[in-house]
Amino acid sequence: MKKLLCFVLSLMLAMSAVLALGEASETHFTPGTYESEGQGFGGKVQVSVTVTEDAITDVAITGEMETPALGGVAVETMGDAIVKAQTPNVEAVSGATVTSTAIITAATEALQAAGADIAVLDANRKDTAEDVVKEEKTIETEIVIVGAGGAGMAAAIMASQAGKDFVILEKMPYVGGNTTKATGGMNAAETHYQKEQGIEDSVELFAADTMKGGHDLNDPELVKTLASKSAEAIDWLDTIGADLPKISFSGGASTNRIHAPADGSAVGNYLVDKFSAKLKELGVDVMLNTKATELIVEDGKVVGVKAEGADAFYTIKAKAVILATGGFGANLDMIASYRPDLKGTVTTNAPGATGDGIVMAQAVGAALVDIEQIQLHPTVEQTTSMLITESVRGDGAILVNQKGERFTNELLTRDAVSAAELAQEGQYAYILFDQHLRDNLKAIEKYVTNGLTVQADTIEELAEKLSIDPATLAKTLADWNEAVKTQNDAAFGRTTGMNADLSTPPYYAIQIAPGIHHTMGGVKINTSAEVINTEGNVIPGLFAAGEVTGGVHGGNRLGGNAVADIVIFGRIAAESAVAYVSK
């Protein structure tokens, strides 16, 4: 009897434990709407969560300062993801980690205020169903454009305006690619903007600067095409509402040539927004979250691609393919395979820049050119990998080391300035500017908002905050301001970016060092953007444009030439593909 009683008691205790566990795993909220906020990449993001007693019914997110193509995607999509999963701990949007984390943190705080146990929500998440069986789909079209960055979108606009049937694929959940990272502007020569502003320039000088900047490794014919088609490309951008009237100087240029938005904002996001609006106007839908995996070849011709989407495997049959997949600056393993010396270096690249197009093109016999030529950008904030636009230096900023001294002409080519920084104590420097420069360059606001700047009312106070000798930094600034006044930089021979001195407080500094920025090498093309094979012949039906290609930039890309590259050769690739499929 005693044994039976002990067994019954044990059974009751076990049942109680099971019941308690089951009760603890239930979700309970205090019904209502709860709000919180977090610091996104561009500014504050607000999260409003509405719950019933047992469910999250709505998550509203606002973040007006977020870039539409990056943080804006997180703002638009993560609310639905949280409702679907019934937990705040959903997957971050690639390329928008800061904003995604801010949203997750704010949603967590709001749900905790509603009485939720986040561990229980995670345990009961609703989006862990068995893997969906993807169906096989076939699409037939005239042209496939792989990649919806700047080059791909430019090509798509041209193809649409030509009346061709096409599809455009993008493996990321948003458009823009590495173009979203472009901060400066677009190089172009003999433009109507230059003429209107009294700036003398020529196609020949543009080409010469590009060849010199690239250490003469560039393909001269591609460079000639880049320079000669640049003014026409600026005119075309005008026609789609993407005008670039603000002209300034960029490293390696002989004159003011880099064209930017009127307010000095980052050119990349500006163009992505304009291209996206134009594609929407033209009725073009981009197949997002769809990764091309293989080029289809028949009888020696490229006749389509295979791709994988969220819910299907695609065989896309076409008469021509345009590769606009970008470079491989975010593929650190691929970087190290070509340049072991760069292993561990931070990158400014968008997460989609992993070299997929290069690998696919190689698989069908494409030749590569300059593949080991990988550029460091000299002004990268190391904790965030945020690029500090070359326009800051082009508009008058200087670089100083930890001693408070200038150590180079700030507007030499990127490789030269990067090398000069790496030679300094600690292998870093500070970019120094004043309020006047900030007031005239909108791009700076992002750096201030994200807490990258150190600010002070006097140069001596700024020096103290940077642990620099105040007298040394004050003398450096005084010497620079005198050089601007006399237009004679006796120390380093700088002759450009000297239109205004640095004398308007407060003063600002950002600690920077080099970071991987651009892969100059890639698939070999000719001036018609046709891909060339290892035997030197055109691969019929295959075209390429933008950072997936090599030959345009040689051993070093000048600031402003990447945007020129994507617009000019994106347009050429589309024109060539349209002509090819129209035969």
Q: Which residues are catalytic?
A: 414
Q: Rounded distance, CA 346 to CA 382, Å?
A: 7
SS3 category, 233: helix
Write out 341-389 in H/E/C secondary structure.
HHCCCCECCCCCCCCHHHHHHHHCCECEECCCCEEEEEEEECCCCEECC
**CA 137 vs CA 172, 291, 317: distances in Å:** 20, 14, 11
- The amino acid at residue 392 is V
CB atoms under 10 Å from CB of 129, counted, come to 6
Q: Rounded distance, CA 268 to CA 571, Å?
A: 17
Q: Which residues contact 377 (CB under 8 A, 6 or more apart)?
A: 348, 387, 414, 418, 514, 515, 516, 517, 518
| 314 φ, ψ (degrees, to nearest 5) | -115, 140
How many Cα atoms sit within 13 Å of 57 on the Cβ side? Answer: 12
Angle, helix 150-161 to helix 267-281, in steps of 10 degrees: 30
- Dihedral angle sign, alpha carbons of residues 63, 68, 70, 73: positive
Buried b (16+ CB within 10 A) or exposed e, 89-110: ebebbbbbbbbbbbbbbbbbbb
Q: Which residues contact 244 (CB under 8 A, 6 or more apart)?
A: 185, 186, 193, 234, 237, 259, 260, 261, 267
Buried b (16+ CB within 10 A) or exposed e, 228-259: bbbbebbebbeebebbbebbbbbbbbbbbbbb
Burial of 145 (0-12, 13-18, 19+ CB in 10 A): buried
Element (H, E) at 7: helix 2-24
**CA 419 vs CA 211, 214, 373, 422: distances in Å:** 20, 15, 15, 5
Query: Residue 258: which region, alpha, beta or left (left: phi > 0; alpha: psi -120 to 50)?
Result: beta
Q: Rounded distance, CA 494 to CA 238, Å?
A: 33
| 445 φ, ψ (degrees, to nearest 5) | -60, -35
Q: Taking a C-beta distance cutoff of 8 angstroms, is the pair 519, 510 a contact?
A: no
